[in-house]
Amino acid sequence: MSDAHGNKVGRLVDVIVSTDTPHPIVMALTVRIPHKHTINVPWTQVGGLGKKITLKVGRDEVQPYDVQERDVHLVSDVLDGQVIDVNGKMMRRVNDVQLSTVHDACRLIGVNVGVRGVLRRFGMEAIANRTRVRIERNYISWDVVDVPHSGLAVVKLKVPKHQIDTFHAADVADIIEELNETDALYLINALSEEDAADILKETSPERQVSLIEGMKTERVVAILGEMSPDDTADVLGDLPTDRAKAILDQMAPDESENIRSLLNYPKDSAGGIMTNEFIAVSADLTVQQATEEIRSGAADVETVYYLYMTTTEGALVGAVSLRELLLARPEEKLVAFMHTDLVSVNEKDGQRDVAKKMAKYNLLALPVVDDKNVLKGIVTVDDALDVVLPAAWKKRVSRKRVKNQTGRISRSSNFFI
């Protein structure tokens, strides 16, 4: 950069824009001058942007610009930041910015998240122009980009905020996986407890641990309270012992008791992937009475595929599907049409045996019993799929795995007896 008299001033290192308008106006250029100092040169004293930048005044006549609250530094605040690509449901890196001069003003038009932006940034766009390979520009207009004043390093989109709420939890989890720990924690804390629980279940065990370790215990307890006991046990099983115990101690007694019982099962057993949330009733109930039981209990159960019949001691004696229940007469008793030749597994059976049985008999859920045939829980089809799907098909490491490091608890630990 040179002044009006041809004297060298310094090197351009940043551009300051005001975000008071949809397409921000360039207010100043940050220039590095000798002795590693910087000065903000107001745009009114700049002759324009190009390969060579010349000031309208002499270097001693520059009146430094005072940065305002709504100003953004394009290099330090935006470049290399992340934007949420709503269409692709993923994070995209800002590789370049697009500026346009209209009359005497220079405005920020948008950001480039494509390969061409990288080439242009390093002065190699001519390569893209000469090659026959098509390289998309991938510009995102700035009028849908939120200014990064929230403390979150990610550049967010304003318009699709409501659309992000409609993302599948797995898609949001993918985005969180790409963020650094600070930004991931900021995003998860901005969500409701119910949404945070759905998304946390879909993240990798490593990310789950880092997120929970960064939250207050009260917040963790509230989020885990929205999960099923088996998912909660999976999350706690990867945490350091002291942290997991502190969380369990703040949960409601009945809730923590359920989770403690699940954590005591070996990691590779049926008990290790079952949930102890299910609906069981007496076989002497009528269809109408059973339906009322489902209505009152279904809100606290993650999935209801089958209704199970048990004795007063809890022994499994029968089951009916919801379809059969809906087609039966209201006054008919369950004992009259329930299935008694049930397929079940012992709580100590291996997980692969569970998956094979579910596949063989086309079951959506499989009851898990102890040595006395007492119903202890059920394995649902989604958890069975985690066991049999090839690792290459999985988006993350199975939540059922065990942390073997010292100081961590797992499904095979007796810590929670």
CATH number at residue 198: 1.25.60.10
pLDDT at 114: 60
More confident residue, 101 or 120: 101
pLDDT at 160: 42
Residue 85 lies in a domain: yes
pLDDT at 396: 44
Domain of 79, in residue numbers:
11-161
Query: Are 114 and 57 in the same domain?
Result: yes
pLDDT at 91: 63
| Residue 88 banded pLDDT, cuts 50, 70, 90 | low
pLDDT at 145: 63
CATH number at residue 330: 3.10.580.10
Query: Are 218 and 360 in the same domain?
Result: no
Query: Are 143 and 252 in the same domain?
Result: no
| Residue 389 banded pLDDT, cuts 50, 70, 90 | low
Residue 353 lies in a domain: yes
pLDDT at 197: 92
Residue 414 lies in a domain: no
Query: Are 19 and 157 in the same domain?
Result: yes
Question: pLDDT for 159-192, tens place per residue?
Answer: 344 455 566 788 778 878 877 788 788 778 878 8
Residue 399 lies in a domain: no
More confident residue, 102 or 123: 102
pLDDT at 14: 93
Query: Are 17 and 157 in the same domain?
Result: yes
Report, as an integer, the average pLDDT of 292-309: 84
The tally of domains found in the chain comes to 3
pLDDT at 92: 67
Query: Are 177 and 296 in the same domain?
Result: no
pLDDT at 16: 94
Report, as an integer, the average pLDDT of 241-269: 90
Question: Among 151-155, 250-254, 359-363, which stretch is predicted with the lowest mean pLDDT?
Answer: 151-155
Question: Among 85-89, 94-98, 147-151, 315-319, which stretch is predicted with the lowest mean pLDDT?
Answer: 147-151
| Residue 350 banded pLDDT, cuts 50, 70, 90 | very high
Query: Are 73 and 54 in the same domain?
Result: yes
Query: Are 254 and 291 in the same domain?
Result: no
Report, as an integer, the average pLDDT of 377-404: 59
Query: Are 147 and 174 in the same domain?
Result: no
Residue 299 lies in a domain: yes
Residue that the structure tokens 């009945």 belong to: 254
pLDDT at 128: 45
Please provide the average confidence, as pLDDT, over all residues in the chain: 80
Residue 38 lies in a domain: yes
Query: Are 372 and 355 in the same domain?
Result: yes
Report, as an integer, the average pLDDT of 271-276: 90
Q: Given 161, 186, 215, which residue is the final one in a domain?
A: 161
Question: Among 133-137, 258-262, 289-293, 397-401, which stretch is predicted with the lowest mean pLDDT?
Answer: 397-401
Check pLDDT > 80 for residue 415. Answer: no
Take residue 402 and report the two structure tokens written for it: 């065990």
Give percent of the chain with pLDDT exceeding 90.
Answer: 40
**In the 3-class helix/strand/coil scheme, how is the chain assigned residue by residue?**
CECCCCCECCEEEEEEEECCCCCCEEEEEEEEEHHHEEEEEEHHHECCCCCCCEECCCHHHCCCCCCCCCEEEHHHHHCCCEEEECCCCEEEECCEEEEEEECCEEEEEEEECCHHHHHHHCCCHHHHHHCCCCCCCCEEEHHHECCCCCCCCCCCECCCHHHHCCCCHHHHHHHHHHCCHHHHHHHHHCCCHHHHHHHHHHCCHHHHHHHHHCCCHHHHHHHHCCCCHHHHHHHHCCCEHHHHHHHHHHCCHHHHHHHHHHHCCCCCEHHHCCECCCCEECCCCEHHHHHHHHHHHHHHCCCCCEEEEECCCCEEEEEEEHHHHHHCCCCCEHHHCCECCCCCEECCCEHHHHHHHHHHCCCCEEEEECCCCEEEEEEEHHHHHHHHCCHHHCCCCCCCCCCCCCCECCCCCCCCC
pLDDT at 310: 96
Question: Among 165-169, 261-265, 266-270, which stretch is predicted with the lowest mean pLDDT?
Answer: 165-169
Q: Given 161, 182, 197, which residue is the final one in a domain?
A: 161
Residue 178 lies in a domain: yes
Check pLDDT > 70 for residue 322. Answer: yes
Query: Are 132 and 26 in the same domain?
Result: yes
Query: Are 111 and 186 in the same domain?
Result: no
Residue 406 lies in a domain: no
Report, as an integer, the average pLDDT of 257-274: 89
Q: Given 122, 143, 161, which residue is the final one in a domain?
A: 161
Check pLDDT > 50 for residue 410. Answer: no
